Structures are given as structure tokens and as C-alpha cells.
Chain A
Amino acid sequence: MSDASIKIVLNNVSKHFGKVRALDAVDIAFAPGTLTTLLGPSGCGKTTLLRLVSGLEPVSSGEIWFGDENVTNLSATRRDVGMVFQSYALFPHMTVEQNVGYGLRILRTKPDDISKRVQEVLEMVAMDGFQRRYPDELSGGQQQRVAVARAMVLRPKVLLFDEPLSNIDSKLRRSMRDDIRRLQQASGITSIYVTHDQAEALAVSDEIIIMRNGSIEQQGPPQALYHRPRTTFVANFIGESNVVDAELTGEGTHRQIVFGDARVDVTAGMPIADRKGPIKLSLRPEVLEIRPFENTSSSPMLHGVIVQRAYMGPVIEYTIKTRIGALFTRGPASASQFKESDEISIHIQPENIIIIPENSKA
């Protein structure tokens, strides 16, 4: 993080398009120098939030602060924001050099300084030497790098990315996302990144914000979201998850979580306080361990029948029918001793059970 890094704060920001509520009274703080990803289903308001921060769209109500400056009423031109568009939005009638140097020309920088600075940022994105090319003479990935260079050339206070990698094939995407992460960390510019791809989100972000229907579902570092989702929606959205119904039974120190054939003692630190009755659990596929059928009821154990089996190269995916519904898991392909319609048992370590704290009636 550099000294110039600033904090971005949204206070009670709403945005309506006519009757559509694209954003509903959101409060968010983006820590200085971090990269925060907005993740959520289509139409949940990610792009809208980004455009409000950029100033391209005015807020309906609420305030936006960059550091200690209220920028709510500043136009995009004066907000000091860089943005990488999904379509790259490179000017088709300008060369790479002219595209990247555009903002410098607007600011009446001396021509020599322009080409120096342009070369500098092009080097950062490994595109030096392409100055004379037109955008339609570049590959998608190269265009994308130029777009990143253009967004960074004025050393903005804030960098915004709207699904920057969605038009790039999956192999290239991985290296591009690492590049973006590296550049962002080196520059220390507070950044907001929109994506559909949760793997991308987990890989690049300091923080992830899960959005749903125009409001914030949960914000936190990737691990926190993965291991402690607060709602079923988050559990399903980040990583793969089997969300199952469970029951809290017993009193005092004998409280237990019961799901199917399995019983788990409630320990301190589980986020259930003194609730009773039905709750929801998230069982990640990787914590479900399949074993040949055992008729014991010792450790938390579920019984079931394999209904589907799909060979995926290194792993095999299983769908298992149990009393609490169908569960999804994987096993190594080398030990492929299970076939469809085999009866099996599933072992789970109690500490791997994720209790979803949201009120399950909601």
C-alpha cells in the first residue's frame, strides 16, 4: 500500500432506474490499497455500483467518499478514477500510443513526457513495442492489457474493473488475472473488481463482497467467506456446497446437531448461541469422505446410495442419495472402488461442518 492509497466509502447509497431498484441503501467501506471483488448473480447491481463509484452514473441518494473528500456530486471527469471496461473500449481510430496517452494529452502534458509515460505503463503490462498498432490489430488479451495501461496511466485514486477477463479464453485468463493482481499491488491503488467467476474472485481479492438483489449479502476476506458463510446464498455462491437441514436437540451441555443419521455435539464457538429447532448446515464436497458401508453410529456418519458417478480425469464426482437429500462429493480416481447403486457411508469431521447462522426461517 502506498501513501496515496485512499479509502472508498459508500454511505447509504441507493440507485433506482425508474421503478427498478438497482441498489438499495448499501453501506460499504473499501480499505485503502486493497482489491475488492464484487460477486453475485446477473442483475444484482455490480455494474451499477461500479458506475456509481466512477461517477458515470449519479446516485439516487446517499454519499460516496474518496478518503476525506465527498465526491458524490463530482462528475466522472473530475473524480480521478481509472476503469477497465468489459469491452475494453479502446478508441478504434487511435493507435495504442494515442489510446494510452489520451488522458495525458487532455491534461496538456508535453509530448516527450507523454511518450515516456506511455512507454512506462506499456512496459508494466508487457506491451511495449506495440505503440503504433491499432486496436483491431491486437489480440483480445493484448487489447485488454492496453486497456489496463490506459486506466493506470494517470495514476488514478481508484481503479475499477468490470468483468475485465470475461472475453478472454480460460487459459489466458489465469495469467491475466495474476498480472492484474500484481500491478494492483505494486501500485497500491484501491481497486474494485467485478466478476462472475468465483474462482477468479477467490484468487485475486483481498476482500469479496457478495451481492444479491441490490444489497450486500456478506463482505469479508475470501477465506472468511468460504469457511464462514453467513447465509445459504453465500454458501452456495462461494465454492461448492451441500446445504442441508438439521435439528438442534437437547439442553445445556448435551446439545446436539442432528442431521440424518449423524449427531454432532455442540461445542463452544459454534455460531448458534442458544437457538433451538431447525438450522441449516453447509457441507463442502471436499469434507465428505466416502467409505464402504459401515453399520456403526460412532462418529458423524451418513448412509446413502451412489446414484450417479462421473469420471472427471483426476477425480470422480459422486451424487449420493441420503435421508437428508442428494449430496455431491468427489473421490480420487485412483481409488475408484465405488460404483453406481453401491451402499456407502459418509464420514465428516465435526470441525468441518459449517453452520449457517442466518435465521433459517428467513
Chain B
Amino acid sequence: MKIQTQRQPGETSPWAVLSWLLIAITAYWLLPWTALEYGLGDFTAEEWVDALGWKQVRSTLVLPILLTLMIPLAWLRISAKISGGLWAVVPGLALGALLIGFTATETSMGLGATVIAICLAALFAVGMAELGFQRGDTFIAGAVIFVIFMVSVFIFFPVGEIFNNVLFDKAGIFSPFQFFRIITSFGVGRVIGNTLVLAFSVGLATTLFGLAFALYAVRATTRIRYLIKVFYILPIITPPFVVGMSLILIFGRAGMINDGLMYLLGPAGLLIPEGSPGLFERSGYIYGFLGIFLAQTLSLTPISYMVISGMLASVNPAMEEASLTMRASRWATMWHVTLPLIRPGIANAFLLGMISSAADFGNPLVLGGEYDVLSTEIYFSIAGAQLDFARAAALGIILLVLSLSIFYIQNKWIGKKSYVTVTGVETAGNVTPLPRGLQRGLTLFVVIWFFLVGLLYFSIFLGGFVKQWGADYTLTLSHHLELWSKGLESGAWPSFLNSMSYALLAAPLTTLVGVLIAYILTRKTFYGRGIIDFGTVLIFAIPGTVIGVAYILAFNTAPIELTGTAAILIITMAIRAMPVGIRGGMSALSQISTSLEEASLLQRAGSLRTIRSVLLPLLKSTIVSSMAYSFIRSMTTVSAVIFLATAGTDVATTYILSRVESGDTGVAVAYGSVLIFTMLVFTLLVQFTMGRARTDKQVKTI
């Protein structure tokens, strides 16, 4: 009998191992080991050569020698234990030594060292697979290690740095009381209170309005309900602070409302007798709680609407019909049957509203006035000449904890409480109509709402074409000309092109990692998965401002120095957009039966081939839409990038905000409307082509 007690040495071909080794060795000899003084955008040949490994530190020569010596070992297959041990231990230790070396000497990693680190991680994955990790599947082992590596470097490490900054003082001495000193210092309590009050009110308002819209869209029998479709597009394409800006145009000191009231009731107003002082003075009531509340409610209600309407649409009408046949009125049915059934959706919408309000940065920045909240306070701790990193970090921790706890409640409590089972069976088109009075009230509400929203967007559009909003409404093209006709080197073009190119690079990156994470979360269980689970929770829950602070703290110094580069902005955009990819990937993957992949494995296809031939074709539309929405999100994001954008890496949103700050409202609004318009066209194009593609060949998954 032939006896094989050992696992066969892995499926990794020696050629794959060889190529990783060769890339690492080549990177050592050709690429800068330490970071170049002025980055990869600007260097001399001399600087490049100086930065090579053996020029910098002689002892690093050990690395290429070691790797060269390992080449023949790629073909050595004694037993899985020995070769696995070899490849796991040697590259693993080398990687550890490399990272520790850079950290200890406070040197910044160059491109070469980064490439080598990646190769070492890949070789480590080979070794782990040989040892049986992921059942010996090298590709999956590599993917898992890659994701853990990414999450550690770009989530855990920066978040850790926040805590590090608060718990250790500038001299590096452990000082836990610093945190308490900061959070008990003057003003912090008020900021936290403000944030909570705002989040709670916005949560309530968006839930109530979201419910109203959901009832109307799903149940009303009028045509107007089709208007609500706009809700699926507006929040996606609108940068978060634009609603705030438009509120200023309408309600601001120089806004239409103030103007109107002045005209009627101000000194020398139409309704005021000559000579009397007037009943009205221009007022800044919109700056502060009221303004932020309005802006957030307007921009977050669509999200709450989507959550609630999704749940409402899946309520089986038979239950309501059963209630109606038992002589319950429509009102009673709504109260005793429908609303209780969608209660989890309502709670979910409320919590989402709270999280989003607390995390929102753009609107409080534009409208805040005296009303300071955590997200802006974090920014102002660092911005300008303040540079109080400890304070920013401490406030960041509070915001993070706040949003993590809401997220936790949302998952643990609501996740398990859904009474509505989504069967996928189309229920017959007959829905239970609304009580008549309710429908009338809702119609009025919806019409007013859309009138207001229309007014807001119109004012943004118009604002870009008038000389000076509030003072001189002469039509002009000067704002747009200033932005777009001064060549590619000045005006809006540099930031616009930066935004475009960063977002274009971030979209595939975030989709790749997002779908990979979704794949691991839906398909794999293994020891250590908790790391990825927790990383994902953080990716979902972490507010943008916290990411911003964390990245500033983590990537401003050795060993990974990225601030000021385009790379950090691309990575930030990718992290901020990642929930899109993860969520899309998870919902698509959970609809694809695992037996398809298993059938492929049994046909001798390896896991990489299975993913390529079976999963990718089925995930095509998910991947395309995830890329598209990641792109849009990256174009409109502001909260994290505002910390990281510099003069050379300005993006559209940060440029607009800087113009708002310097009082050029006209220019800012002009740019904003172009941005919205571009995104709108892009979204419609994507939806159109996707719609076409879908009718080409209906792919059903069993």
C-alpha cells in the first residue's frame, strides 16, 4: 500500500515562489530602500541612488543574499511541514525584522522596502498554506493574509495611534490622566452634549420623515410618489456640505428669506410706516443648531427612507388584509399591524440617522457658528495654528466610541429582531392603501419637501451665475470663468483633476479589497477571522474625521510616511468607500449558492480559477456598480480628506470649502453645481448602461 500520511506539499508552483523572490531581490537592488526626500514626484538620480538599500545600511545586504540562497529551495519538496515551516518562518521573520528596523531607527520606508515587505508577506502566505492554513489553498491564504495586512496597517495601526497620542505625553511617557484632563477641560462637555442633542434630534426627524416618505412611496395611490425616486440619486451625488451651503443662500444673513423679511418688515420696509425703526433686522439664526439640524435632516432623510421603505415593501399584504377582514379600520391596521411589523426598520433608521449626524463634518463646518460639535471640534484642534493633536485624538476617541456603540446596538439588537422575512416571492401588486386623511396630509408634506429641495438645488445652480448673492443679482459668468478658464494649472482644474484621478484609482482598489473582505466574511471560517470581522466593523463605523486624525498621526512620521502624497488621499478615499464594496459583495455573494463553487472545485478547478470562472462573472454587475459608487463617493467625500489634502494634492471638495472659508460663495457654489452635475450625468450613464446590460442576459443564481 502507498501511504501518504502527510499533506502533499502545496499547490503553489515553484515558479510563483520564484517570481516573488525575484521581485523582492530586484526591488532591493533597483528601488529606493528609504523614502526619498521629496517623494516619488520629485527626485534626482543622485537621491535615488543614495536611497538604495546597501548605500543606506550595509547590514540590509543580508536580505538579498538570503533571498537568493532561497531560490533553489522553491523546488525542494521534502515534506509539507518542513517546506511550509521554512517559507513561513524565514520570510515571516525577515518581514518582522524589516518593520521593526524601520520603526526603531525612525526611518521612512521607501518604495523598495514596501515592495519587499509585500513579497515577504506573500512568501509567508505560501508557507502558511503549506502548513495547512486555509486547507493548503495558497491563493486564499494569500488573500486572507493580504486583507489582514491591509486592515492592520490602514485601520488598526492608525486607530491605535490615536490612543497612543492620548495615553502618552509628548515625551513618550505613559500618562493616562491626559485623556481625562482633556475631556474634562473647558468646553468639551458642551461639545459632546451638542453632538448628542443634534444626533438625537436628527435621528428622530429623519426617521419620522423617512417613515412618511416610505408610506407614501410604497402605499400611496397618487402619481407624485414617483418623485421620491429622486431620493436614490440626490444623496449620492451631493457633497455633504452642499445642502448646508444652499441653506445659507436661502436662510442666511444675505439669504432670500432675510431679504424678503427685510423688504417687508425692515426699517423702511414695505409694511412699515415711514420713520419707524422697523420690526426686523437681518439675523443669523441659520448658523447654529437650527441650520445644522435642517441641513442634516434634509440630506439624511433619504437614507432613512430607503431603510424603512425596503422593510415596508417586504411586509406581506396578507397580514394587513387579515386585519382588515377582522373589521379593523385602515388606521387601526396601520397602527396595530403595519407599524409593529416594520419597527426594526424604524429603529434601524433612527440609529443610522444618529450615526450619520454625529459623523457629518461638512454641514457643521459651513453652518456651525457657535454650535460646535465633535467632528468640527476635532478639525479645529488641528487646523490652523492649533496643532493640539492630543486634544484631537481624545475627541476622536469619544466620537469613535459613540459611533461604535450605536453601531453595536444596531447590529446586536436589531439584526435579530426582524419579523419580516424576505422570501423573494413577489407579492401580488395589490397593496393595502393608506387611510385617506393620512394620504392627503402626506401629499401636502411631500410637495412642500420637494419644493424646498428644488429651491435649494436651484439656488446652488443660480448662485454660481449671479455677481454677489444677497447684494447684486446681476447674471454673470465670472465665477465659472474664474474656475474653468484659467488653464489647467490654476482655478478649479488642478483640484478637479486630482479628485478625478484619485477617485479613479481608489475605486478599483476599494472594490477589490471590499469584495475580497465580503468573500472571506461570507465563505470562510478560520482561526483569526475575528481580526477581519473587527476591522470591518471599524471600517463601517469609523467617522471620517476620526480617520483623518488617525492618518495624520500615523502616517506623518516613520516608518510609513505618507502625508502630503497622493497615495494617502487615494487610500483614504478607498477606506471611506469600502463599505459600498463590502455591502454589495456580501449581498451578492449571499445570493450565490456555495454549491456552485464546490461544483467547480470538484471539476479540478483550483480556488483562483473558481473565483475567476464562476464567481467573477456572476459578480460582474456588483463589481461595476461598486466601482461606480465608490468613484462618486470618493469625488464627494470631505471629512477625512480635508485633514490630508495639501497644496499639491487639493481635491474638489477641499478646494470648495477653502473658497467658502475665504468668503467666495459665488465661486464655491459654481464649483459645487458643476460637481453635482458631473456626478449626476455619470450616475445616470452608469444606471443606463447597467440597465442595458441586465436585459442582455438575465443571470439567475440558483
Contacts and interface: CB of A to CB of B under 8 A. Distances in A.
Given A69-B2, A102-B613, A154-B604, A89 B599 contact: yes
Q: Which 4 A-B pairs have the closest CB atoms?
A: A103-B603, A89-B595, A89-B599, A73-B7
Contacts of B613: 102
A76 B598 contact: yes
B599 A85 contact: yes
Interface in A89-147: 89-93, 102-103, 106-107, 134-136
A56 B603 CA distance: 12
B625 to A, nearest CB: 17
B142 to A, nearest CB: 16
A106 B596 CA distance: 15
Interface in B599-618: 599-606, 609, 613-614, 617-618
A74 interface: yes
Given A92-B702, A93-B617, A73 B598 contact: no
A99 to B, nearest CB: 9
A135 B618 CA distance: 14
A4 to B, nearest CB: 17
B618 A77 contact: no
11 contacts: A68-B2, A73-B7, A77-B11, A81-B602, A83-B599, A89-B596, A91-B614, A93-B699, A102-B605, A102-B613, A103-B604
Contacts of A68: 1-2
A338 B275 CA distance: 115
Q: Which has the most chain B C-beta neighbours within 10 Å: A56, A93, A102, A135? A: A93
Interface residues of B, number: 35
Nearest to A107: B604
B1 A77 contact: no
Contact of A77 (B593, B605, B697, B701): B605
A218 interface: no
B135 interface: yes
A106 B609 contact: yes
B84 to A, nearest CB: 13
Given A89-B593, A89-B596, A135-B702, 17 more contacts: A54-B602, A68-B2, A73-B4, A75-B601, A77-B11, A77-B601, A77-B605, A78-B604, A83-B602, A87-B593, A89-B599, A90-B702, A91-B614, A92-B700, A92-B702, A103-B604, A150-B603
A102 B494 CA distance: 50
A62 to B, nearest CB: 13
A12 to B, nearest CB: 15
Contact of B598 (A70, A83, A106): A83
Given A87-B593, A88-B702, A154-B604, A74 B8 contact: yes
Interface of A: 54, 56, 58, 68-70, 73-78, 81-83, 85-93, 102-103, 106-107, 134-136, 150-151, 154
Nearest to B593: A87
A92 B603 contact: no
Contacts of B276: none
A183 to B, nearest CB: 17
A106 B600 CA distance: 10
B136 interface: yes
A92 B701 contact: yes
Contacts of B474: none
Contacts of A73: 4, 6-8
A93 B614 CA distance: 8
Contacts of A92: 618, 699-702
Contacts of B593: 87, 89
B604 A70 contact: no
Q: Which has the most chain A C-beta neighbours within 10 Å: B135, B604, B699? A: B604
Nearest to B3: A70
B5 interface: yes
B698 interface: yes
B372 interface: no
A89 to B, nearest CB: 4
Interface in B106-143: 135-137
A92 B613 CA distance: 12
A89 B8 contact: no
A74 B598 CA distance: 15
A272 B602 CA distance: 47
